[in-house]
Chain A
Amino acid sequence: MERIIKVLNEINPTVNWEKETDLIGNRILDSLRIVQLVGALNDEFDIEITPMDVVPENFRTAEDIARLVSRLEDE
């Protein structure tokens, strides 16, 4: 989780990532940020996020993102 927040802060340090409940709906993560984020996550955790994984359910909160990352790490 901490590593996730670190990555997120690199994308945009002004957001309180742990508190936000709808990153997609509030448009904190638009498609550009998603691409940046996916790149950073891929590098940080050595995983491969695919276009299929980019659904709102996986990116709504920091916890969702952490869950996605840990799932992909297991594969």
Chain B
Amino acid sequence: MIKRAVGRLVKAVSFCCVTAMLICLCSYMLAPKDNTPEGGIINPSANGFFSEPKNSVEIAVIGNSDAYSGFSPMELWKTFGYTSYVSAEGHQSLAQSYAQLKKMTECHDIKLVILETDEFFVKSGLTEGAMRLANAYAGSVFSVFWYHDRWKNVKLHELLKKPNYTAHCATKGQLLSNEINGYTGGEYMVKTDKREKIPLSTLVPLEMIVSHCRENGIKLVLVEIPSQTSWNYERHNAVNDFAEKNGLPFLDLNIDRESFGFDWKTDTRDNGNHLNSLGARKCTRYIGDYLMKNYKLTDYRRDPAYEQWNRDYEEYKKAVKI
């Protein structure tokens, strides 16, 4: 009786293992082989860091649409000479953030992480979060759940090929926009003692990001880019509590906006939700200033190995019409 039960258990477990292995194999075969849009990668601009020269990026900017609209790596490069990449995705969950950070630390020598805090308050699905975390842990073994549809375009000879990343993202992950649709409403940062609760589904991966940084000697800075529609003082308080508890710096750019010349009339592209390139430049200079004063980061502007960054800046300059 017991013998039969054990036998069945062994059989069931080994079947699950075999199936899981086959799923991993499918993940490998169907994973995008390049980080260009044609390669089929989801959010190519957030994944452009794969094809930057190894260990060339030192600052990782992680977040959702607020981050890729409101932070400008090129501005940071021009003004301070720091190398950064924005790996942000629309509606990114913190589990995703963790996965992106892991990937980024694998191919770059990340010294500092700027984590945009807007996404702290976006609840995410339990199973999806769990799968994303599993992916982050075990190196995208379950990426087939996101990339399964690539069976349509994958070529037979590509199936077993290793990925070869070739994309070049000159803005380093930033979404450029010269559109101006100002916000004219009232003040949204009304001081209060109330705090919004950070949901559990984001708190778990958040703790994982914090400890990942700690273990790898990476500095972590929490930043909130100005956003009228998604930010308020209750959220500010909640993040502030979290930052204090973990001994992290928290820069809320919604407060004292005037001190760095931020203007809601000119600096947003969609009436106060996301910033445009002008707003991004102002925020980036402010953040860069803070980084220069508080951390020892290297200025690579004179380093010939980073000549490409200067060329990228020229392109950026044309695009944002400076």
Q: Do chains A and B touch in the complex (CB under 8 A)?
A: no
